[in-house]
Amino acid sequence: MSFGDKNFTYGPRIVKDGLVFYMDASNPRSYVSGNTTCNDLMSGEVGALENGTGFSTENNGSWSFDGTDDEIDFGDVLGDVFQGTKQFTIDVWCNRNVVSSSNVIISRWLPTGNQREWYFAFRSTFTDLIFGISTDGSGASGGGERYVLTTGNGAPSDNWLNLVVSWDNTKSAVADEIQIYANGKQQTLDLIGPTSPLLGSDTIATKTPSLIVGDIVNNSGLSGNFSMCRIYNRNLSAAEVLQNYNSLKGRFGL
């Protein structure tokens, strides 16, 4: 696909190298108010707005989630980007309005049948973030779940945030393997896990869960708004993360 075409009129100056998924509530080629589906601008994959997921015209457009079961379900897509030994980056804009134990931002994590791969979420009742993976499809009780937390209150509620997780498990040390950013700033990580820390040698399980925006399949949903998601098949540098943040921060009054 040519990046000069009209699909990208609404995303000036963004990093395009390695971009494999791009949804944006402000782009009418991705979503039109009142529709029950939205489109990935890269592949044409269709996501279903489920359980009453809403839409707001503020900030040029965002989807609204009730924190209970609202979600956008794209089905089993992009598995080849995430599974095994890979590099990828997930880049989203969202605004959490209720601090609770829920607030999953985006995931491929289906507990039924041990179809877990990864999730990116706000950390429980704190203003930090958590990124978790499963090495075998199981959760904490099965021993396969690993995760890292940010520290320092970098993700406050009632604020628009550009949240990014960048993964490169070709690195030997987890400190080099994963980076998390909030509004262009790299966050300090607490390398812990329910059974053991996330290790540089860990790989994400090869499973078939749906890519879900705003939830983990009707459980632990985001309470707030979500406007945009970009996924890359490589890890972005700190400079590229900052470039993407600067390209859209004006839309959110930052």
pLDDT digits (tens, 9 = 90+) for 43-68: 999 999 999 999 999 999 999 999 88
> How is residue 245 annotated by DSSP?
H
Give per-residue pLDDT as tens, 148-163. Answer: 888 888 888 889 999 9
Which helix (H) or strand (E) segment holds residue 175: the answer is helix 174-177
> How is residue 18 annotated by DSSP?
T
Q: What would be the CATH architecture of the domain defined by 75-252?
A: Sandwich (2.60)
Query: How far apart (Å, rounded) are the C-alpha atoms in residues 35 and 38?
Result: 7
**Does the pLDDT value for residue 146 go beyond 50?**
yes
> How is residue 108 annotated by DSSP?
E
pLDDT bin (cut points 50, 70, 90) of residue 219 is low
Closest by alpha carbon to 177, among 241, 89, 91, 242? 89
First-to-final CA distance of the chain: 31
112-116, 187-191, 217-221, 226-230 — most confident range? 226-230
Tokens 């628009």 correspond to what residue?
Answer: 160
198: amino acid identity, one letter: L
